Structure 1
Amino acid sequence: MMKFQGGTTSGVIGAALAAMALLPASPLAAAQFNNAFRAPNLNIGPRIDISPNVRISPNVTYQDPGGGQPQSKRISRDKAPSKDSASGKNPRRSGQTAADDTYVPKEVIIEIDGNPGEDQVAALARRFRLTRVQSQNLPTLDSTFYRWRIADDRSVDDVVRALNASGSVRSAQRNSIFRLQETPAASGQAPMQQYALAALRLPQAHTLSTGADVRVAVIDSGIDAGHPEIAGSIESSFDALGSEEGAHAHGTGVAGIITAHQRLTGAAPAARLIAIRAFGAQKSGAQSTTFVVLKSLDYAIAHGAQIINMSFAGPQDSAIARGLGIADAKGIVLVAAAGNAGPKSPPLYPGADPHVIAVTATDSADNLFAQANRGGYVAIAAPGVDIPGALPDGKYGVSSGTSLSAAFVSGVAALMLARNPAMSPADVRAALIGGARDLGPAGRDDQFGAGEADAFAAVSSVAGPIETASGKPGTP
């Protein structure tokens, strides 16, 4: 179970309701990774005391039955998988398929061009024997999306095929499920230190940029806007769920990694956050869907996000891929967790989308987080094991996962954009990869990507904008 420490016993029950969902690790693959570099003995920031006597554990059913803790030590061949490697969850009961875990049962998502009239929508519902659940016009995609319920015994895929073959809709698909990418830390943690500061060379990078006024959209669970590490950093917020849930540990922690400015130091402490709640509490833990993520992307694009952080993962999704392509075309830097489903997992999305910078996790000794996904889509690594961070109600805790690594890289991207807002997503990617510190096998590999992000090298490579004859910033 996920264990956070800090606060009082009376706060545990409330915090547990806000705790995050996760994709637990698949069994470990056969591989050993050499330490190509040990981080120098630099200032790693203040020590944050965490009470070892209080634990906050979510009601999570996707957990390894053995309660496996995050591992980052070098690994050797383990036994054959006992869980679905793509989703990281236990095999389903007889008669159910693994695919059931990746989408909402008995629901389809339908896209219609523009803003159709009620008569057209009602006729479509009658023709395909569907019940409308929810709809949303998304201007950035120039279409309206609908959630429909299948009331009879037809399968989701059968209905999707029939809709797409009819020519009556722009697209139809499953309503995919996405999950947050953070895992529990070992219990009994006491004073913590921010080793990530030295690993990423953030103190040096902050002499050049602190990410001032760069807008970073965080599509996640609820964020505690009043936490001392986050207070004053949120420019706007949007609840894509329309819920009344309180702040959640995952969203609060991710936001703090980007902009912490009190007892902790964030990657971009002067950045501005667009806080988007897209992940809500379920009996199985916090999760989101295609429909909600699309609404979130639409809001982020419409409200001027320069970077979108997506610390979640799930199946490939064509509608979300279109949204990401539009964001990229508008010059928005897209960063996502590579995934925590282990070495045997297929690629997870949105990290594996070609427009997205997929980030994996390392520990304080530069070892790969054992639960991290591997693959050609992994672009870069950043610290993600035993990371101290903010929790709701002013508390602090420690956790692990590629979620956290993605947040660090989003912060580093903000440092670069503050220095030169004219940088394109391709420019940001190139600067990150070009400045990365190689880990694992020489050169790019499927475990660490280009290597560990180096904030100072990346920011140093960015020339500041020059003023043109018009008085507006231009590119040197």
Structure 2
Amino acid sequence: MSKIAPFRFGFCTIILIAAGSVTGLPLLQSAGVAPGIAAALADDDDDGGSDDDDGGGSGYGGSSGGGNRGSDDRRPRGDLRSLFGWPFQRAERRPPPRRAVTVPDHAPSEILALGLDETSIANLAQQGFAADERINVALTGSELVKLTIPRGMTLETARQAVIAAAPAASVDFNHFYRPEQKEASSCSGDGCRLVRHMVGWPLDGSQDQTPSCAAPLPIGLIDTAINAGHTSLAEATIEVVQLGDDARSPSGEQHGTAVAALLVGAAGSRAPGLLPSGRLVAIDAFQRYRRTADIAETYDLIRAIDVLAERKIRIVNLSLSGPANALLEKAVRATIDKGTILIAAAGNEGPNAKPVYPAAYADVIAVTAVDRSMKPYRRAVRGEYVDIAAPGVGVWTAASISGGRQKSGTSFAAPFVTAAASLLLGANPDMRPNDLADALARSASDMGAPGKDAIFGWGLLNARSLCQS
């Protein structure tokens, strides 16, 4: 028999349960609470901010939140006071939310120059400039120099001083570029299906092996680091090229792994790619900024583009964006003139934002994103530079550690067009960048206003006719 003893505290009477069972106690037991022990049910605090394993599940997905809800531990915690709440339970002190780090659009004390001669560098050194890094750029046939400006000099004054010292050189700030991902979606069950059917791509990731569809050409990827140990990439043909900057803080693997798997993930894996038999040459041009954000300097982007050009990689995926930069534009123009097709994310800064680069440079194929209802991605930048649309909302691809996850952003629309360009160029090796862009435009499914518009470009990518000339 249970022993129930009343205990008075102020104006309240508390019933202490010593042992046994009373009415209502089995409800607590069903929640995992042992008899005679007071309980407080823990909150399932999942902010969705992490980017790890999807936690299993059915189909391609499962629950892809930041934590494993299936293993939620609701064990009893605390003492009797927690069962009754106020006035006995003190509010739990939660750590203050982490403040978002504001990333500037350029390095605060650096100037870049292409085409400085030794005399100009010596004259700038007398003014207090220091040439921190220098490298020959084969694409432009000139040297790329990173200068630290004199203390106390403004960046604009420094830029004008370098221009005055070398009028024939290209001079600009060392701008920062970011991966084009703004949010991660979560899904479960059928909601995690692949979205490639929207553009007529085979669901299993295999190519149409018709006589006119040749093997895809190698793809260059300039992005963050890649988790080469991910099961979706274990059998992929990926060559990772290091820029050689061991002193840099390593970039995160979330973005690069997701884009790489979307391109060449194994067909039978949890994150099958568009071109599982394709070859990827990947360059991590990014570094960690204050431990929270990945950035790529203009200096490193130019180096990466130059490295891919030297390796004769003709298709490059650039799921990144940032400000206009005179030196980057020059490198982009030089590699396109040599026959390279550059495919870039159109940007996630919002429909009323200014154009972003390199997508907005002439002859770069700018890719915007649409959702499963064929509506424009709500964050996608709009403008006359937008060329074509592809799936970019809730795209299923690899998580950074293992398994898969849904991703949203123009970053994940660009690989669809990159994969299509790889097949087109494989079937027609003599195509020039403008020819390939025209072929994509002609085959696109028109959306929005007739013809090319600022929201969808020429329309939605059509993969059904990729290998038809």
TM-score by length of 1: 0.74
Match of 1:470 in 2: none
CA distance in 1: counterparts of 2:189 and 2:107, whole angstroms = 40
The question of whether the paired residues in 1 share the 8 Å contact of 2:423 and 2:467 is answered with yes
Paired residue for 1:370? 378
Structure 1 residue aligned with 2:202:
203
Over 3 Å counting, the alpha-carbon distance change for 1:6 and 1:237 in structure 2 is: closer
Aligned pairs for 1:185-204 (under 5 A) are 185-187=184-186, 189=188, 192-203=191-202
Structure 1 Cα separation of the partners of residues 234 and 120 of structure 2: 44
**In 1, are the aligned partners of 2:231 and 2:403 still within 8 Å (CA)?**
no
- Residue 300 of structure 1 aligns with which residue? 308
1:124 Cα offset (Å): 3.2
* Residues 194 and 133 (structure 1), Cα distance of their counterparts in 2 relative to 1, 3 Å cut: farther
CA distance in 1, matches of 2:273, 2:122: 52
Match among 403, 406, 409 for residue 401 of structure 1: 409
Length, aligned pairs only: 384
User: Partner of 2:377: helix, strand, or coil?
Assistant: coil
Give 1:222 deviation, angstroms: 0.5
Match of 1:61 in 2: 100
- 1:167-216 deviation line (CA, Å, top 9, x unaligned): 36622211111111012224465565344221111119821477735111
Counterpart contact for 1:256–1:390, Cα < 8 Å:
yes
Following the alignment from structure 1 to structure 2, what is the Cα–Cα distance between the partners of residues 346 and 303?
33
| Alpha-carbon distance change, 413 to 326 in structure 1, aligned in 2, over 3 angstroms | same
Give the structure 2 partner of residue 108 of structure 1: 111
SS at match of 2:416: helix
| Amino acid corresponding to residue 196 of structure 2 in structure 1 | L
CA contact (8 A) 2:54 2:402 kept: no
CA distance in 2, matches of 1:442, 1:129: 57
Instruction: Show the counterpart of 1:32.
Output: none
Q: Equivalent residues in 2 for 1:166-177 (5 A)? A: 166-167=165-166, 170-177=169-176
Q: Say if 1:357 and 1:429, in contact at 8 Å, map to a contact too.
A: yes
Task: Give the Cα–Cα distance (whole angstroms) in 2 for the partners of residues 289 and 247 of structure 1.
Answer: 15
DSSP-derived class of the 1:141 partner: coil
- 1:215 is aligned with what amino acid? P
Ranges in structure 2 where 5+ consecutive residues have no aligned partner: 1-46, 69-96
Residue of structure 2 equivalent to 1:313: 321
One-letter code of the match for 1:137? N
Q: Could you say if the C-alpha distance between residues 8 and 436 of structure 1 is closer, same or farther in structure 2, counting changes exceeding 3 Å?
A: closer
2:340 corresponds, among 328, 332, 354, to 332
User: For the residues of structure 1 that align with 2:131 and 2:168, how far apart are their CA atoms?
Assistant: 15
TM-score by length of structure 2 reads 0.75
1:352-391 alignment runs, 5 A limit? 352-391=360-399
Task: Go from structure 1 to structure 2 and tell me whether the alpha carbon gap of 1:188 and 1:335 turns closer, same or farther (over 3 Å shift).
Answer: closer
Distance 1:53 1:122 in 2: 50
TM superposition shift of 1:235? 4.5
Cα distance in 2 between the residues matched to 1:302 and 1:235: 17
- Cα 1:227–1:350 shift into 2, 3 Å: same
1:6–1:235: structure 2 CA closer, same or farther, 3 Å change rule? Answer: closer
Answer yes or no: is the 8 Å Cα contact 2:348–2:409 preserved in 1: yes
Match of 1:48 in 2: 61
5+ residue gaps, structure 1? 10-44, 63-88, 90-99, 463-476
Q: Match of 1:49, as an amino acid?
A: G
- Equivalent residue for 2:295? 287
Check the 8 A contact 2:233/2:261 in 1, yes or no: yes
How far off is 1:48 after superposition? 2.9
The alpha-carbon distance between structure 1 residues 246 and 234, as it changes in their structure 2 partners (threshold 3 A), is farther
- 1:31-81 superposed Cα distances (whole Å, 9 cap, x missing partner): xxxxxxxxxxxxxx95333444628xx98826xxxxxxxxxxxxxxxxxxx
1:252 alignment partner, SS class: helix
Task: Please give the alpha-carbon distance, in whole angstroms, between the structure 2 residues aligned to 1:208 and 1:435.
Answer: 19
Higher relative contact order (CA 8 A, sep 6+): 1
Does the 8 Å contact 2:179/2:321 carry over to 1? yes
Structure with larger Rg: 2
Distance 1:122 1:324, change over 3 A: closer
* Identity within the alignment, %: 27
Partner of 1:184: 183
Judge conservation of contact 2:217–2:425 (CA < 8 Å) in 1: yes
Q: In the alignment, what sits opposite 2:137?
A: 138
1:248 aligns with 2:253: yes
* In structure 2, distance between residues paired with 1:274 and 1:170: 31
Shift of 1:407: 1.2
Partner of 1:25: none
Q: How far does residue 340 in structure 1 lie from its aligned partner after superposition? A: 0.3
Distance 1:368 1:108 in 2: 37
Q: In 1, Cα distance between the equivalents of 2:445 and 2:314?
A: 25
- Deviation sequence 1:93-132 (CA, Å, 0-9, x none): xxxxxxx93211111012235xx66xx4762342331122
Residues 409/130 of structure 1: CA separation in 2 closer, same or farther (3 Å cut)? same
Q: Is the 8 A contact 2:49 2:66 kept in 1?
A: no
What is the match of residue 53 of structure 2?
7
1:5–1:396 contact (8 Å) kept in structure 2: no
Q: 2:340, 2:279 → 1: CA distance?
A: 15
Farther-moved stretch of structure 1 (363-372 vs 229-238): 229-238
Cα distance in 2 between the residues matched to 1:180 and 1:323: 19
Give the aligned residue type for 1:112: G
Cα deviation per residue 1:404-433 (whole Å; 9 max; x = unaligned)? 101111011111122222222112111111
Q: Are the equivalent residues in 2 in contact too, given 1:107–1:148 (CA < 8 A)? A: yes
